[in-house]
Chains A and B, each alone.
Chain A
């Protein structure tokens, strides 16, 4: 089944404790992206990647890191999480120029 897999689905952590949210797709998509979704603010892009070893900042990159060492994986790293990073996070992928985005199931992150 074609899908984007995100883990974990739920995560509660403390301020300053490094964490990684994993994202993997099995569709051989070149493009992958991370979004955060907050009430009333819609989807805001954090980082995106057009291909392996190519990453770029989105609209709200501060406090986040990403890497794209393999085509299928695009992990989101929070080196020192803060409470304002409490949000619902989505990973998405697509074949460039060929159609819609496939989203992962989301990760609800709470930083206390």
Chain B
């Protein structure tokens, strides 16, 4: 079942923070996060494995709460280059490496 991403869209001013959530109805083994700019391919940001470890990538970080079966992506002091659509991909212990993708969160950063 497709994970639910929220919000569907968000508009920020440059320098503001954003949080994107990804919730699953199934127990998760891992969560992937990707960013896709219009007309381009999705680009891998980070993967979070079962264990709750928070990962970071410049000013973009993420957490994984196994019990709540959800992950959150944090973008701090957003830059214009952060604009795009963010997708989470979830893997369950019985999914045989297959990712189930969320519908995406569109992030617009204004100067």
Interface set of A (CB-CB < 8 Å, partner B): 31, 40-45, 48, 50, 58, 90, 96-97, 99-106
Q: Does B58 contact A (CB under 8 A)?
A: no
Question: Chain A interface: which of B13-21, B63-71, B75-83, B100-108?
Answer: B100-108
Q: Does B60 contact A (CB under 8 A)?
A: no
Contact of B44 among A48, A99, A106 (CB under 8 A): A99
Q: Which residue of A lies closest to B30 (CB)?
A: A97
Given pairs A40-B103, A42-B104, A105-B41, 7 additional interface contacts (CB within 8 A): A43-B42, A45-B98, A97-B97, A99-B44, A103-B41, A103-B43, A106-B40
Q: Report how far A102 CA is from B34 CA in the complex, Å.
A: 10
Q: Does B47 contact A (CB under 8 A)?
A: yes
Contact of A48 among B32, B98, B102, B103 (CB under 8 A): B98
Interface set of B (CB-CB < 8 Å, partner A): 2, 32, 34, 39-47, 87, 89, 96-99, 101-104
Residues in B with CB closer than 8 Å to A50 are: 96-97
Q: Are the C-beta atoms of B97 and A42 separated by less than 8 Å?
A: no
**A36, chain B: closest CB distance, angstroms:** 11
Q: Are the C-beta atoms of A101 and B44 separated by less than 8 Å?
A: yes
Q: Can you list the 10 inter-chain pairs with the closest CB atoms, starting with the nearest? A: A100-B44, A103-B41, A43-B101, A42-B103, A42-B101, A103-B42, A105-B41, A106-B41, A100-B47, A42-B104
**A91, chain B: closest CB distance, angstroms:** 9
Q: Report how far A40 CA is from B106 CA in the complex, Å.
A: 11
Q: Are the C-beta atoms of A90 and B41 separated by less than 8 Å?
A: yes
